[in-house]
Chain A
Amino acid sequence: GESVGLHLPTLSVQEGDNSIINCAYSNSASDYFIWYKQESGKGPQFIIDIRSNMDKRQGQRVTVLLNKTVKHLSLQIAATQPGDSAVYFCAEISGSARQLTFGSGTQLTVLP
């Protein structure tokens, strides 16, 4: 079946640097995408979302980019902080049931 996946399972960045987490999706019918952050021992926490009719959306220190031509989604975190260390999942929503499908996740580690 169709799936959402990530290019890199782990990412280490220096504190203060920018982070970029990538995600490839294959369901061209998906019309809504979400990035979730999951810290150890906690449930996934919503970070930012983007509709398929947009190519960029900015939040506080985070930006999501969507390239529908190559079915690619990315999350940019500016001035990465120790509290940003977590697993990041991209997820897509499609169909009338609005079912959420998660990608495989990227472990972000922020180095001091």
Chain B
Amino acid sequence: DTEVTQTPKHLVMGMTNKKSLKCEQHMGHRAMYWYKQKAKKPPELMFVYSYEKLSINESVPSRFSPECPNSSLLNLHLHALQPEDSALYLCASSAVGLAGANEQYFGPGTRLTVT
């Protein structure tokens, strides 16, 4: 199974709402990632989890709060977002510790619209 799943597929939320994005993989990967992708732009790294611990936070605003409850799951909690946060949010996973062999498998993304 080389699939990364993400839910929901689409999400519309107001600026005062609290919502969560979910990601799941069963490939035994111990690195998981959140990316943000605006239209016609490449994905931009937000967070990296390695062995369920946050290892990289790319100066993401605190209104985005990641969580890795176990090795298969990754959440992104959203609160008090701004309209400019509207984007495609991609989750990815990869193996850890193999030099070069770090192909990241991406999920289909959650299309988020903040109104």
Indicate whether B28 reaches chain A with its CB closer than 8 angstroms.
no
A44 to B93, CA, bound (A): 12
Q: Which residue of A lies closest to B9 (CB)?
A: A41
Knowing A31-B100, A93-B100, A99-B48, the reply to whether A105 touches B105 (Cβ < 8 A) is no
Interface of A is mostly: strand
A69 to B43, CA, bound (A): 27
| Interface magnitude class on chain B | 20 to 34
Inter-subunit contact A105/B103 (CB<8 Å): no
Inter-subunit contact B109/A99 (CB<8 Å): no
Q: Mark A66-99, 1 if CB is under 8 A from B, else 0.
A: 0000000000000000000001010001000111
Residues of B in contact with A (beta carbons under 8 Å apart): 4, 31, 33, 40-45, 48, 55-56, 90, 92, 94, 99-100, 102-109
